[in-house]
């Protein structure tokens, strides 16, 4: 070990890096875990959120000057001039990563999602199948603590039960479910990494209703939980460390990782192998920043595919007014899915969708809109009460196909506080996705009419904060960045794990699949 600081250097302490560090340290590996951000104090974050007027995804979390993140109000500040607020994938740089502010929803991919081209003639196939990943889905559900109905696989065959029973449907979910049954539609609880009972040292959900952007009691899984386990097993955690360059020798082996600390000082680490477990945006950014005379296009980029095939779920939320009270807001923000739209022969023509009922009541947004109209001030409380009791939401997340023109590039003219170039995003939504958007919005409008409710508005965003695909997995080095074992085609000791390796994204929230891929990689590395 004289020439190395560690066996495995993992960059990124989100769910992928945390699980990998925990597994490898338990197996006796000497592991270093680098994280650009810092720790989050849950109590302080909760107080910060309570005091915020604009309760967006970033509201509970301190911004770290040395590790900037996207701004929900000013997307161009991070992503450059070609994006607007309809495409602004947000993420956190912190120990635990974006699992601090996620919804906790954990459906598995469907078997057809791994073979989209074979089934429907669109997109590409993964180099692995659902059956290859299924055992690791089981391990991921155990690690994250997923609550779900074990008798209801929701299209994804299971070899083991969920660790916990499902979170019960809310009053509003049950009311809407009863009305939609008349259309032959079934409503079921989502599987979620949210405790329905005490589990793994975390309490049961108490229905605080702020899952996004923060569970105040830690009933919803966040990856700092597994970072702490990894540290107890021997992982050396280095926070406030911004990796900015990977250095490779002539044989392609990564021998040195360069990082900066908040004081702008440069540091290096040497490792036998390196794993990139950053998010989709930052992984591509790091690889592109690592270009030199031997790798002028960046590390792992002989194919030119690094940063390309960027995907995200298009999301819409349709707001309706029900005649009878529905009392949304009791319990978690998102519990129920409407079981239609995720798969079928229609995928030959247009995108699939995961439909959901929102149990969120955005009181401060309702009040802000009322206060925008001075003539409503005298009756503001009665108007607010009316909205809080009668307003409901049905939405959908819609798949996007890979497109090499949807990409991340570096902008040398926009350095961050450490002098590193910020990413510029080029993104457009495909006709396949837009046709799906139209179909599923029309379907939701029919549901609302069937419930004898009044449709008020339907808001569309081209990002669900699920960016994927910028270092995709594949068997062909000419069209992919990593192989089926997440090893870089160009570098024998470089591995990558996260949503960025997804060849396609289906309709499932990505976190559970990221966790399963990380545990699969851990087993592969341990076997090596």
Catalytic residues: 466
The string of DSSP letters for 270-314 reads -EEEEEE-S-HHHHHHHHHHT--SS-TT-TT-TTS-TTBS-B--E
CA 112 – CA 507 distance, rounded (Å): 11
Residues 6+ apart with CB under 8 A from 232: none
Angle between helices 15-26 and 130-144 (to 10 degrees): 90
- Tokens representing residue 482 in the block: 């990593």
The candidate with the shortest Cα–Cα distance to 101, out of 69, 141, 73, 60, is 60
- The answer to whether residues 215 and 99 touch, using CB atoms and an 8 Å cutoff, is no
Q: Is 140 helix (H, G, I), strand (E, B) or coil?
A: helix
* H-assigned helices in 145-239: 171-180, 224-232
Angle of CA points 296, 300, 302, to nearest 5°: 60
Our separate counts of H helices and E strands in the chain read 12, 16
CA 59 – CA 78 distance, rounded (Å): 17
CA 28 – CA 55 distance, rounded (Å): 43
Run of H or E including 494: strand 494-496
**CA trace torsion 414, 401, 308, 90 (10° rounding):** 30
- Tokens representing residue 274 in the block: 């390196």
- The answer to whether residues 5 and 271 touch, using CB atoms and an 8 Å cutoff, is yes
């Amino acid at each position: 070990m004289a020439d190395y600081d560690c066996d495995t250097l993992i960059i990124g302490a989100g769910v992928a890096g945390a699980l990998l560090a925990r597994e490898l340290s338990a197996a006796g590996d000497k592991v270093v875990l680098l994280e650009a951000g810092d720790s989050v104090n849950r109590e302080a974050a909760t107080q910060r959120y309570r005091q915020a007027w604009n309760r967006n995804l970033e509201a509970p979390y301190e911004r770290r000057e040395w590790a900037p993140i996207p701004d929900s109000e000013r997307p161009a500040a991070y992503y450059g001039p070609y994006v607007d607020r309809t495409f602004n994938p947000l993420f956190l740089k912190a120990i635990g990563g974006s699992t601090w502010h996620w919804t906790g929803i954990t459906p598995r991919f469907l078997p057809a999602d791994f073979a989209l081209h074979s089934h429907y003639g669109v997109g590409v196939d993964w180099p692995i199948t659902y059956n290859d990943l299924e055992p690791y889905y089981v391990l991921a559900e155990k690690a994250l603590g997923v609550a779900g109905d074990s008798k209801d696989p929701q299209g994804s065959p299971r070899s083991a039960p969920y660790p916990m029973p499902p979170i019960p449907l809310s009053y509003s979910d049950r009311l809407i479910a009863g009305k939609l049954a008349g259309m032959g539609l079934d409503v079921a609880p989502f599987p979620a990494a949210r405790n329905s009972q005490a589990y793994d040292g975390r309490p049961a959900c108490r229905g605080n209703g702020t899952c996004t952007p923060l569970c105040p009691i830690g009933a919803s899984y966040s990856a700092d939980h597994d970072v702490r386990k990894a540290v107890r097993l021997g992982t050396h955690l280095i926070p406030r460390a911004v990796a900015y360059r990977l250095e490779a020798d002539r044989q392609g082996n990564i021998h040195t990782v360069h990082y900066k600390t908040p004081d702008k000082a440069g540091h290096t680490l040497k490792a036998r192998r390196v794993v990139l477990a950053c998010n989709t945006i930052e992984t591509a950014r790091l690889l592109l920043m690592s270009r030199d005379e031997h790798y002028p296009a960046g590390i792992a980029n002989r194919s030119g595919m690094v940063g390309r095939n960027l995907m995200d779920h298009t999301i819409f939320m349709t707001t309706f007014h029900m005649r009878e009270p529905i009392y949304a807001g009791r319990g978690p923000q998102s519990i129920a899915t409407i079981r239609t739209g995720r798969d079928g022969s229609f995928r030959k023509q247009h995108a699939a969708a995961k439909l959901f009922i929102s149990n969120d009541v955005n009181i401060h947004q309702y009040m802000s809109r009322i206060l925008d109209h001075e003539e409503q001030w005298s009756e503001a409380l009665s108007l607010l009460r009316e909205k809080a009791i009668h307003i409901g939401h049905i939405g959908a997340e819609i798949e996007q196909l890979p497109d090499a023109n949807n990409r991340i590039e570096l902008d040398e003219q926009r350095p961050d506080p450490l002098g590193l170039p910020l990413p510029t995003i080029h993104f457009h939504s495909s006709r396949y996705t837009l046709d799906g958007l139209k179909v599923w919005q029309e379907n939701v409008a029919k549901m609302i009419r069937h419930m004898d409710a009044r449709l008020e508005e339907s808001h569309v965003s081209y990002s669900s904060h699920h960016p994927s695909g910028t270092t995709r997995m594949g068997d062909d080095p000419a069209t992919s960045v990593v192989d089926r074992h997440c090893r870089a085609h160009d570098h024998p000791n470089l591995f990558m794990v996260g949503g960025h390796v997804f060849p396609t994204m289906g309709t499932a929230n990505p976190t559970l699949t990221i966790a399963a891929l990380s545990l699969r990689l851990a087993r592969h590395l341990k076997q090596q």
